[in-house]
Amino acid sequence: MIKYDVIVFGLRFYVGCDMCQNWFHGSCVGITVQMSKRITEWYCPECKRSKDPEVLYCICRKPYDDQQFYICCDKCQDWFHGSCVGVLQCEGDKMDDYNCPRCMSNSEINFANLKPLNQQDNDDLLKLIKQIHSHKNAWPFMDPVDPHEAPDYYNVVKEPMDLNSIGKNVTDKTYKNLTEFIRDMIKVFDNCRYYNPRESQFYKCAEILEQFFVSKLKNLRDKFCEQYMKV
């Protein structure tokens, strides 16, 4: 399906998804007017993933999972789990463009996320996790969920994680780079939102703590990059 919308700057071309019926700028999905004349049906990236679950995505090359956040690389157009590339959904939602580690490994975010952690980096990570532990909204996530309080939790949540376990991993120097640390933090927030209703206190705590974490994470990434520039 195609249509045109006359705007101030000229003629804008749209292409319609045959599954969800939403409209997309041709320039945003890589389809020209000439190409559209040869297309009998078209599915947007979101519908294509759900329609063909055998397509593999991300660095981990796994099928699409609608329970996970994905971010699209503006260079290669591949989709990546935020947890695999060290990007939280609330960060990705604010990005004008994103380049994956394969396309731009030296970008600030990719460099900071993937550089091997040295002793100073690990000390900084330890300070960060202590700040998170001290936050007033961290209490629901400090320890593993008690199955007596939530009997079905471990049937619903497949990769449980808690802040004390993350703190122990930092102390034991388990994390080789920042992405691995971020991946476990994402599990804490996503597990909570997946299991608990939006209006619950637990859900609200996850939202607030995540925003706090993102602000501290930005400072840590900046510090990692500054240290590299001084070398």
Match 């695999």 to its residue by tokens.
84
Query: Domain of 164: which CATH number?
Result: 1.20.920.10
Is the same domain home to 3 and 19?
Answer: yes
Is the same domain home to 66 and 141?
Answer: no
pTM (two decimals)? 0.75
Query: Domain of 77: which CATH number?
Result: 3.30.40.10
Is the same domain home to 65 and 120?
Answer: no
Is the same domain home to 14 and 95?
Answer: no
Give pLDDT < 50 ranges for the chain. 2, 4-9
For residue 109, the surrounding DSSP H or E stretch is helix 108-114
User: Can you give the residue range of the structural domain that contains 5?
Assistant: 1-51
Q: What is the pLDDT of residue 41?
A: 82
Is the same domain home to 180 and 122?
Answer: yes
Is the same domain home to 166 and 182?
Answer: yes
**152 is written with which tokens?**
């079905």
Q: What is the pLDDT of residue 50?
A: 66
Is the same domain home to 127 and 98?
Answer: no
- C-alpha 188/C-alpha 69 separation (Å) is 14
Domain boundary among 104, 126, 142: 104
Match 């320890």 to its residue by tokens.
143
Is the same domain home to 115 and 220?
Answer: yes
Is the same domain home to 225 and 140?
Answer: yes
Number of domains in the chain: 3
Count Cβ atoms within 10 A of the Cβ of residue 107 and give its class: 0-12 exposed, 13-18 middle, 19 or more buried. Answer: middle
Is the same domain home to 130 and 81?
Answer: no
Q: What is the pLDDT of residue 8?
A: 36
Q: What is the pLDDT of residue 51?
A: 62
Is the same domain home to 125 and 138?
Answer: yes
Is the same domain home to 20 and 69?
Answer: no
